[in-house]
Amino acid sequence: MRRPLSKSNIRPKISTMPRPRSESAAFLDIYKLTVEKKRLEHELIALDQRRQQICQRLAVLNDQVNGLENTVDQLRQEDGSPIQAAPSTTYHRPESNSTFDTILLDY
């Protein structure tokens, strides 16, 4: 499982022991920076693909919701009946000092 991304800047990886200045150390630093650059580019590509998938799914969901709302409107017009309210829930507190609470549901 991946750890969540922090909103702070991405920090470079550093070595605990400084290397002596040499040509090979410079090439190693170039290699490490190149690898990190490639990793970040791949991560950006993956994020773009995921964003596209999410946008496509949201579009499908919006279409389905709109279609179902149209169906509901058509069914209401065919029935010619007003919208029926959902059953209400009422709460009655007993008059005596009882530890029971009564809930009445209307169907």
pLDDT in tens, 10-53: 777 776 677 788 999 899 999 999 999 999 999 999 999 999 99
The total number of structural domains that make up the chain: 1
List the structure tokens of 3: 């750890």
Residues comprising the chain, all counted: 107
34 lies in some domain: yes
1 lies in some domain: no
17 phi and psi, to 5 degrees?
A: -110, 120
List the structure tokens of 80: 């010619």
List the structure tokens of 36: 């990190």
State pTM to two decimals: 0.52
CA 85 to chain CA centroid, Å, is 32
70 is in which domain, residue-wise? 24-81
Distance CA 31, CA 23 (A): 12
Q: Judge whether residue 102 has pLDDT over 80.
A: no
Residues of the chain above pLDDT 90, percent? 47
